[in-house]
Amino acid sequence: MEKFVNNRAFINDARSPQKKKLKLESDERRKQEEDEEDEEDEFSHPVPWQKIEAERLDCDYALLFSKEEADHLFKQLEEEVVYSTGEEAQVQVFGKVHDIPRKQATYGDAGLTYTYSGVTRLANPWTPTLEYIRDVVTKTTGQTFNFVLVNRYKDGQDHMGEHRDDEKELDPLCPIASVSLGAPRDFIFRHRDARGKQRRRQIEPVKLELAHGSLLLMNSPTNTFWYHSLPVRKKIPLPRINLTFRRILLYRKK
C-alpha cells in the first residue's frame, strides 16, 4: 500500500544568517521527527497485503485482526448494533419489494444518508466498536470513511445477491473497505459482460473466501465492471458480520 505523509512548509525567519541556519536545521530535524511520528500514527497497523487482479478488477486483501481481537469485536458488535426492521428491512428489485435475506444496519457521520436498491437509509451515530474498527481501517489504508453498512448473516442460508456498489454519492477515488467477522464465507466477483443468458464474453468469475478478521479493499474501477455476491452455503451453521466502509460525497447528493 502506498503511504501518504503530510508535508509541512518551513516558516521564513528574518534573523541573522547564522542564527537562521541553526534555526532551519533545528526546524528540519523537528519536522523530520514529526513526519515520522505522523507516519507511524497514520499507518500504525501494518498488514501483509495480497493483490487480487483480473480484467478491470483491482482488490487488496489482508488479515486485519488476530482471532482473539476479531472474536472480541464480533461480541461487541452483537451487543451494540441495532438492525433495521419493518419497511427498512426491505429493498426494491426491478420494481418489486423483497425482504432482505440478512439483517442490515447503517451508521456514520451525522446527517448522512445512503440510497441503494430504491431505499434511502439514514446513518445512525457511530458505536464505539464501529468507530474503533473504522479508525483501524484508516490507519491501515490511509483512507478516511464516513459511513458503514452492516450486514449480519445468521448462517449460510442468509446471503447477498449479485450487485455493484456504484451509487453516485460514493467517492469514486475511495475504495470500499469490507471487514469480515465470524464464519468464513465465499465471495464471488462476476464480470458484467459474463452474466446471465445474454452473456457476451467468457470471463471466469473470481472467488474468494473472506476469513474471520479480514479486510478486502475493492479499488476503482472494480465496482464499475464487476458484480459481487455472497451465495448461500447451507452447510455453514454460524453467523457472520460484514462491515463495508464507504466515503459519501455530500455535493453529489444535491
Domain-embedded: residue 97: yes
What is the tens place of the pLDDT at every residue in 76-92? 999 999 998 755 555 65
Domain-embedded: residue 43: no
> Which tops the pLDDT comparison, 102 or 164?
164
Maximum average pLDDT range among 12-21, 44-53, 79-88, 164-173: 164-173
Averaged pLDDT, 172-200: 95
Task: Say whether pLDDT at 25 is over 90.
Answer: no
Averaged pLDDT, 8-20: 37
Q: How far apart are CA 219 and CA 208, in angstroms?
A: 16
What is the tens place of the pLDDT at every residue in 94-136? 567 666 778 999 999 999 999 877 788 899 999 999 999 999 9
What's the structural domain count of the chain?
A: 1
Which residue segment(s) compose the domain that 151 sits in?
50-246
Q: How far apart are CA 40 and CA 52, in angstroms?
A: 26
Q: What pLDDT is stored for residue 219 in this prediction?
A: 98
Give the CATH number, domain containing residue 64. Answer: 2.60.120.590
Q: How far apart are CA 14 and CA 25, in angstroms?
A: 15
Domain-embedded: residue 66: yes
Domain-embedded: residue 7: no
> Which tops the pLDDT comparison, 115 or 176?
176
- 153 annotated among ligand-binding-site residues: yes
Q: What region, left, alpha or beta, does residue 117 occupy, with left being phi > 0 and alpha being psi -120 to 50 degrees?
A: left
Q: What pLDDT is stored for residue 92 in this prediction?
A: 58
- 227 annotated among ligand-binding-site residues: no
Q: What pLDDT is stored for residue 34 in this prediction?
A: 57
Q: What pLDDT is stored for residue 118 in this prediction?
A: 74
- 158 annotated among ligand-binding-site residues: no
- 114 annotated among ligand-binding-site residues: yes
Domain-embedded: residue 210: yes
Averaged pLDDT, 167-172: 93
- 96 annotated among ligand-binding-site residues: yes
- 115 annotated among ligand-binding-site residues: yes
- 228 annotated among ligand-binding-site residues: yes
Domain-embedded: residue 2: no
